[in-house]
Chain A
């Protein structure tokens, strides 16, 4: 029972430990948290996908 609860806790826990200070990337004068960098990366990915992926065809458009 206790083991099941512990494994459920592991599954439901945040993928990143939020109880400690965040990780930061330093690049010259640029300093950004890894979390924000991931979000920026996701935005770039979605942008590229939105430009490249075909849109479902609708009935007659002008």
Chain B
């Protein structure tokens, strides 16, 4: 039996205390920042998640530089063109790594072991990335973006969302590309990574999952 007074003290702290207790209970430090991993993680297929996140960091960083300097810089100056190209090629790598990560997790049935939410946030991240890449192509301000938006408007009008999501409206597409979709993608990616930390990496099918405390060494 716990002492009611102690119990009341532990539960004090208002909503911030409640959030802290929930966060520590859900993601204790050893889970949030683990220093060991199961042996089955020693496979190249487990590398593609972090490669995807790394590419996303470069995408966001170069995107911030482009936002700071503006189109007069990225279309004309050589440094601007270089950063613009970095933005494009880091996106190419991001999608490349993400698709291999997706295939790896699909064939591993990565939704096993109460990891359904991890799988779903990853899938929605993929969809948000497609939208972010698409609106990025629309905001290049060249003939390519003009062609893509001209073609896309017919498809989007056909499914009935063209009036609300107007690909010919440059301002709207730019806001989707640099505000809404990065916020959604950044938030979902953070949640996805936290869920991976909470449930642990998915073991290969038929692998033996190590029991907590069975640590023999550090990774």
Q: Which residues of A contact B (CB under 8 A)?
A: 39, 42-43, 46-47, 49-51, 53, 55, 57-62
Given contacts A51-B44, A53-B44, 12 further A-B contacts (CB under 8 A): A43-B96, A47-B104, A50-B43, A51-B104, A60-B216, A60-B217, A61-B37, A61-B38, A62-B38, A62-B39, A62-B214, A62-B216
Does A55 lie within 8 Å of B44, measured CB to CB?
yes
Q: How far apart sit A46 and B41, CA to CA, in the bound complex (Å)?
A: 18
B45 to chain A, nearest CB (A): 5
Does A62 lie within 8 Å of B100, measured CB to CB?
no
Name the residue among A42, A58, A62 with the largest chain B CB count within 10 angstroms.
A62
Does A51 lie within 8 Å of B96, measured CB to CB?
no
B103 at the interface (CB under 8 A from A): yes
B68 to chain A, nearest CB (A): 29
List 15 A-B residue pairs with CB atoms under 8 Å apart, sorted by A's residue number: A42-B96, A43-B96, A43-B99, A47-B100, A50-B43, A50-B47, A53-B44, A55-B44, A58-B219, A59-B217, A59-B218, A61-B36, A61-B217, A62-B36, A62-B216
| Shortest 4 CB-CB contacts between residues of A and residues of B | A60-B217, A50-B44, A61-B39, A55-B42
Complex contacts, A55 vs chain B, CB 8 Å: 42-44
Give chain B interface residues in 13-63, CB to chain A under 8 Å.
36-39, 41-45, 47-48
A38 to chain B, nearest CB (A): 12
